[in-house]
Amino acid sequence: MAYTIEGSDGAWEVVVGLEVHAQVISNAKLFSGAPTAFGAAPNSQVSFVDAAFPGMLPVVNAACVAQAVRTGLGLNAHINLVSRFDRKNYFYADLPSGYQISQFEHPIVGTGAIEVELADGSTKTIGITRLHLEQDAGKLIHDQHPSKTLIDLNRSGVALMEIVSEPDIRSPEEAGAYVRKLRSILRYLGTCDGNMEEGSMRADVNVSVRRAGEAYRTRCEIKNVNSIRFVMQAVEAEAIRQVEVWESGGTVVQETRLFDSGRGITRPMRSKEDAQDYRYFPDPDLLPLVLDEDWVASLKAALPELPDARRTRFIQSYGLTLYDAGVLVAEKATADFFEKVCRGRDAKAAANWIAGDFFAAMNRQGRSIEDPPVTADALGGLLDLIADNTINGRIAKDVFEAMVATGKSAAAIVDEQGLRQVTDTGAIDIAVTRVLAANAANVALYQAGNTKLFGFFVGQAMKAMAGKGNPALINETLKRRLAEPRE
Amino acid sequence: MMLTDLTIAAARDGLRAKAFSAVELTMAHLHAIEALNPRLNAYITVSHARAVDRARAADAALAAGDACALTGIPLAIKDLFCTEGVRTTAASKILGPFVPPYESTVTANLLRDGAVFLGKANLDEFAMGSSNMTSAYGPVENPWKRRQDPNAVLVPGGSSGGSAAAVSARLAMGATGTDTGGSIRQPAAFCGIAGIKPTYGRCSRWGVVAFASSLDQPGPLARSVEDCAILLGSMAGHDPKDSTSANVPVPDFRAACRRGVKGLRIGVPREYRLDGTPDAIERLWRQGIGWLRDAGAEIVDVSLPHTKYGLPAYYIVAPAECSSNLARYDGVRFGARVAGGDLRELYERSRAEGFGAEVRRRVLIGTYVLSAGYYDAYYIRAQKVRTLILRDFTDAFATVDALVVPTAPSAAFAQGENMDDPIKMYLNDVFTIPASMAGVPGMSVPAGLDADGLPLGLQVIGRPFDEETVFAVSAAIEQAAGFTAVPALRAGG
């Protein structure tokens, strides 16, 4: 069922295209040798080029170019062997040179496509229009002085990739799935850390609405949305606003808007009439960027395994379900964690533990896969104790929580708390005998045909053994004893 | 002979022979500057103490026997080159008290080779002008005088007017200049000295305040072709900090001056014959052609059919680039600031106050030609013209080794002349702009005097990165011309 906005007189389709700005992972800026570390003291990562001192000239950083090419390859996109840098001219205090070096007419990467997974299990292909390299601007700080604005140029000149999608997205969910998948690919490639809260990835969201079968109507651009949740909210809020405009007899005007996450609405920023004339022209300080075909091929050959390929491998090699595999590969770090846990162990059990108790604990504690509640080795140790019947699955859940709470290993907790599974058939027999004796009425019902009560007996027996009984042996004993004719 | 009259080549020999010391040589120039600069205004900044320190170091190097190509040679540096620790103005108010914390590649190369910098030479503001009248630090007086009207104050040409005047008046043995549309060649011609705009990419632009990036090219001015060759040998070279710098070897330019022209094919482009060009210039051109023929060159008529479009196309491309290059002078980070109520007002006031009329005019023209709706009609078309101009030269150089043409359509004019209409001023560059647009090397060599006794230059244009042939042909003209005239105003004069 396609997503639509229900207006007062019918359904509206939502059309979305995204421009994602992704900060390139590199040691130095796009056109200067200055470092790019996040969180450094203001203006400590600035060269004379970044500050646009007289006579300073840009020299393109080959490492940033390689990252853009690798990203393009990861997006299944066409690599343009000849591209060009242009100047985008405008005055602002965070832009020392008065122009941003960008790629306007001839981007380094052309059309591509990525596949996104949706909640209903379906997939959708979203087209990539282009990817180009450009410089970031500096940062203005307004709250440090009563009347002055301070300027931090640390970001000035940092390499960004602007990744533009086709208007193929039709719902907030697809928009979210697209950004999530894009971020996943960038992280797998190591070309962008994807940390939206630090601003190293942000999205401009283009939204329009239309009746089924219509041509595109006027779109609005929502600038600088800095989380996936906000991207989804912004799409919906803006689509609803546009539907209201059209249905009330108005006209949506092309403009740039901002998403107010506090109020969940978009607000106008500037209209098309106020739009700047950027006076793009080829940057005469830089030669056309000409790539060697063999170099591109060598970058392609060295690409890491990407999420789609890894998901297929997880299904084929580990026997995981499509869903589990999808969950595990979405973040490279999670997939790496999984592969560390499952090495030499039951992969399905590992997947279940990670997707279940592990994620639950991680979310509960507000931690991340990079700072996990238990390490991959520790979780593997727990799985080992289950596999060799030292503990049963039920006790394992308690052991896991104790691991999260104390940081101790599973073996240590099992030893300290005496949680070792009881496999002594004598002890199990005694417990079963007690349970059957204490529940004679239920035994009678069971033997009269109410076999659903079997689980009740298992629970009672396990309880009698403080949870430590071997479930298989308890089952076996119970079956045998209940099958015996009543005395 | 006075030390200030020596050529660089002769001074090098003299220093090595201990005929005089580097300190003596530098002091002679500093005294000359003291005497004449108040009138000529060729220097914006004189670095007296630094120059003496460098000269002392040069003497030490000479004594130790490890002198380099330019050890102890006193030079003027166009105040468009950033010089570490020495104020750099670009002859604009907007740079205010700016003292660069870095040394341009070209001047660093000269320092590496032992040169002594006397100071920073005056120029048209941001190198925009052909008369040195647009300098925020006042005009430069050409040391040459009209015989019939010695009281007229003539311009030295521009934009490297201070450099040319300083070298001509013996206030420096040589100078750096930059040439965007003729800014080395035209003032060299007006001041009776030699100057070469090398191939675009031959000298690094790093650390040179930008005017029009795709055209700007540093080069030397000196009183002889050989001196220019010596200076260029030090200035040139690949610089990884300038993406447009060419990674080609630097040949022995000085040796090329002695090659002669025997067997060379020299082209004479018919499109450089313009109505209204003074007879003296036409005559000198014919004379120059004759000298080359006599020296063994073959003279060939050639056509550069798109020459006439060079000037209008240049006045689109150069302002377009300058409008963008000068955006950084906004009063925010360095240079002069005029406060405003908000950011926009700060920009407007700082730039209105900081830039002179000619710079403002070009920024406005450039902004206009890059605007949406005009870009294709102006900028793109101008770039196409540029391609055609380059093709003209490429075609011509398929049959000839160099071209010889006049440098400028007139001799030096007086301050106040050509000031009523910017187009008249722009026409000064009509013979120099095509080589700039094509990026090929061009050299002006003093070849004669007009009826007023003012110097006239001939221009030799060569193939890309074939400055050697340009030097060879220029040296042949220089030798045949036997140009020995000196300006009225000069050290010891």
Question: HSE on the CB side for B130, CA within 13 Å?
Answer: 30
For chain A, how many structural domains are there in total? Answer: 3
Percent of chain B with pLDDT over 70: 100
Instruction: Decide if A446 is inside a domain.
Output: yes
| pLDDT for res B479 | 98
A445 alpha carbon, distance to own chain's centre: 52
Could you tell me if residue B408 is left (phi over 0), alpha (psi between -120 and 50 degrees) or otherwise beta? beta
Question: Do A94 and A188 sit in the same domain of this protein?
Answer: yes
Same domain, A431 and A456: yes
Of A275, A298, A321, which residue constitutes the final position of a domain? A298
> Which residue range forms the structural domain that includes residue A463?
425-483
Provide, as residue numbers in chain A, all residues whose Cβ is less than 8 Å from the Cβ of B332.
93, 96, 151
Average pLDDT, chain B: 97
Diameter of chain A measured on Cα atoms: 104
Percentage of residues in chain A with pLDDT exceeding 90? Answer: 76
Q: Which candidate, B481, B488, B425, B462, places its Cα nearest to that of B183?
A: B425
Catalytic residue among B78, B120, B145, B197: B78
A266 and A407 housed in the same domain: no
pLDDT digits (tens, 9 = 90+) for B271-298: 999 888 899 999 999 999 999 999 999 9
Residues A385, A279 within the same domain: no
Chain B nearest C-alpha distance from A40 (Å): 20
- Strand A281-282, strand A86-89: pairing: antiparallel
Residue A273's pLDDT band (boundaries 50, 70, 90)?
low
Q: Using an 8 Å Cβ cutoff, are B484 and B455 in contact?
A: no
Size (chain A), residues? 487
Residue-wise pLDDT for B399-424, tens only, equals: 999 999 999 999 999 998 888 888 88
Write down the catalytic residue from B21, B47, B159, B350.
B159
Same domain, A469 and A379: no
A147 is a domain residue: no
Q: Give residue-wise pLDDT tens across range A389-410.
A: 888 888 899 999 999 999 999 9
Name which of A93-97, A177-181, A395-399, B24-28 the model is least confident about: A395-399
| pLDDT bucket at B490, cuts 50 / 70 / 90 | very high
- Structural domains counted in chain B: 1
Do A116 and A227 sit in the same domain of this protein? yes
Task: Judge whether B62 and B329 are in contact, CB under 8 Å.
Answer: no
Question: How near does any CA of chain A get to the CA of B371, in Å?
Answer: 5
DSSP states of A407-440? ---HHHHHHHHT-PPB--HHHHHHHHHHHHHHTH
pLDDT at residue A261 is higher than 60: yes
| Minimum CA–CA partner of B215 in chain A | A284
Name the pLDDT band for A1 (thresholds 50, 70, 90). low
Residue A279 to residue B323, Cβ atoms within 8 A: yes
Instruction: Determine whether B159 is an active site residue.
Output: yes
pLDDT confidence of residue A388: 87
Please report which residue ranges of B197-294 form alpha helices under DSSP H.
Answer: 225-235, 253-256, 279-294
**Could you tell me the CATH number of the domain that includes residue A475?**
1.10.10.410
Among A235, A264, A298, identify where a domain stops. Answer: A298
Nearest residue, CB atoms, A93 vs list B323, B332, B370: B332
Q: Please indicate, yes or no, whether residues A194 and A86 belong to a single structural domain of this protein.
A: yes
Contact A29, A158 (CB under 8 A): yes
A86-89 and B43-46: which strand pairing? unpaired
Select from A417, A434, A458 the last residue of a domain. A417
Pick A47 or B96 by higher pLDDT: A47
Q: Is residue A150 part of a domain?
A: no
pTM: 0.91
Contacts with A285 from chain B: Cβ below 8 Å: 210, 213, 243-244
Q: What is the pLDDT of residues A187-239, one digit of tens each?
A: 999 999 999 988 899 999 999 999 999 999 999 999 999 999 999 999 999 99
In this structure, the answer to whether residues A340 and A191 fall within a common structural domain is: no
Q: Convert the pLDDT of each residue in B215-264 to its tens digit.
A: 999 999 999 999 999 999 999 999 999 999 999 999 999 999 999 999 99
Residue A382 pLDDT more than 80? yes
Distance from CA of B79 to the nearest CA of A (A): 12
Percent of chain B with pLDDT over 90: 94
Partner-chain contact A281 B323, CB within 8 Å:
no
Q: What pLDDT is stored for residue A464 in this prediction?
A: 87
φ and ψ of A26, to 5 deg: -155, 160
Tokens of A174: 């697809």
Q: What is the CATH number of the domain that holds B297?
A: 3.90.1300.10
Residue A145 in domain = no
**B82: pLDDT confidence band, cut at 50, 70 and 90?**
very high
**Residue A50, in any domain of the structure:** no
Same domain, A347 and A265: no
Is residue A481 predicted with pLDDT exceeding 90? no
Which residues from B are below 8 Å from A287, CB to CB? 243-244
CA distance, residue B239 to nearest chain A CA (Å): 11
Same domain, A271 and A345: no
Contact A230, A224 (CB under 8 A): no
ipTM metric: 0.96
Helix (H, G, I), strand (E, B) or coil at B174: strand
Percent of chain A exceeding pLDDT 70 equals 99
Domain carrying residue B288: 1-493
Written as six digits, the tokens of A68 are 């853009």
Do both A172 and A287 map to the same domain?
yes
Answer whether residue A383 shows pLDDT above 60. Answer: yes
- The model's pLDDT over B164-196, given as tens digits with 9 standing for 90+, comes to 999 999 999 999 999 999 999 999 999 999 999
In a domain, A239, yes or no: yes
Interval A416-463: pLDDT, tens: 887 887 778 888 888 888 888 888 888 888 888 888 889 898 898 888
Burial of A148 per CB tally in 10 Å (0-12, 13-18, 19+): exposed
**Considering only CB atoms, which residues of chain A are within 8 Å of chain B?**
48, 51-60, 87, 89, 91-93, 96-99, 149, 151, 277, 279-281, 284-287
Q: Which among A54, A59, A60 has the least Cβ separation from residue B82?
A: A54
Examine the domain organization and report whether A186 and A333 are in the same domain: no
Considering only CB atoms, A277 lies closest to which of B328, B372, B379, namely B372
What's the pLDDT at B88? 98
Q: Say if A152 falls within a structural domain.
A: no
Instruction: For strands A139-141 and A150-152, give the pairing.
Output: antiparallel
Whether cis (ω within 30° of 0) applies to the bond prior to A32 is: no
What pLDDT, in 10s, does the model give residues B23-68? 999 999 999 999 999 999 999 999 999 999 999 999 999 999 999 9
Q: What is the DSSP pairing of strand B442-449 with strand A4-7? A: unpaired
